Amino acid sequence: ETGVTQSPTHLIKTRGQQVTLRCSSQSGHNTVSWYQQALGQGPQFIFQYYREEENGRGNFPPRFSGLQFPNYSSELNVNALELDDSALYLCASSLIGQGAWETQYFGPGT
């Protein structure tokens, strides 16, 4: 298993509410990416954070936002939840700056 952790494990919210998901990256990694995986689908890239700034964004509306902290952990915030937001949310950490920076290690998901 990777050293990437996510919290909470499971979450139930109501339409219109806001949610915050958290991710701790693997030791030594400086980049966190977030994905949405609907049932029976492949992961859809939401965004990536590197050095506390957004480093790429997929086709998701602005109500999906994120943060990265100095310790490289990250949060995913979703406002005004919609039914279609129901999914498994995965974070993945990687290391930019040493060769295969795209190699990502996934957390267990929320």
Partner 1 sequence: GENVEQHPSTLSVQEGDSAVIKCTYSDSASNYFPWYKQELGKRPQLIIDIRSNVGEKKDQRIAVTLNKTAKHFSLHITETQPEDSAVYFCAASISGGSYIPTFGRGTSLIVHP
Asked if 65 interacts with partner 1 (CB under 8 A), we say: no
Provide CB contacts within 8 A for 15, sequence distance 6+. Answer: 81, 82, 83
Tell me which of 20, 22, 44, 75 binds partner 1, using CB under 8 A. 44
> Per CB under 8 A, does 60 bind partner 1?
no
Choose one: 20-28, 34-42, 61-69, 78-86; the region binding partner 1 (CB under 8 A). 34-42
Of the pair 38, 80, the CB lying nearest partner 1 is at: 38
Task: Out of 16, 42, 70, 97, point to the residue binding partner 1 (CB under 8 A).
Answer: 42
